[in-house]
Amino acid sequence: MFQLRVIKLLCLCVIFGLSGCSSLITGGEQDPEVKLLKVDVVKAKLLRQDFKLRFRVDNPNDSSVLVRGLRYKILLNDLLLTEGEHSDWFIVEAHGHKNFSVPVRTNLWEHLKDISKMLRKSDQPIHYRLEGKLKTGFLFGHSVRIQRNGEIIPGDLIPE
């Protein structure tokens, strides 16, 4: 009988404790804003290319936000160049911002045929897309969707 009361008491404490945490995490707060600032080429070899995607996270809320990582995909037209996950944890202070970098590795050699077809038409744009999810929160995780689209016109990159 005593053990049953202790178990019930512990369950109530956990339930009330978790409900308090969830209201602190999601209680009317806005999603942080995520911006892609820059793409740096680190190394470019025939079989492997290394880049750094540089992001900025802005927190518009009155409380800090825990960031647990980023899952991403990079596409040219509909060709998947790379996808991966970056799992560095950091905190963005209330009404503050934090910059972070994500190392990305591709192998354009395996897509050479498709990419060369895109580049042959130097006046037609090549669409690029970055898709991702920024994982936030601790107990009750939340994902903030990221999507950046644009286009590159190959003729503009070739000097005359």
> pLDDT tens for residues 14-65?
444 333 333 334 456 889 999 888 889 999 888 899 999 999 999 999 999 9
Looking at every residue in the chain, the average pLDDT score rounds to 81
Indicate the domain borders of the chain.
1-30, 31-153
**pLDDT value of position 109:** 87
| Interior angle at CA 109, CA 108 and CA 110, nearest 5 | 90
Alpha carbon distance 88, 142 (integer Å):
16
Topology of the domain covering 31-153: Immunoglobulin-like (2.60.40)
Report the candidate in 76, 31, 27, 35 with the shortest Cα–Cα distance to residue 53.
Answer: 35
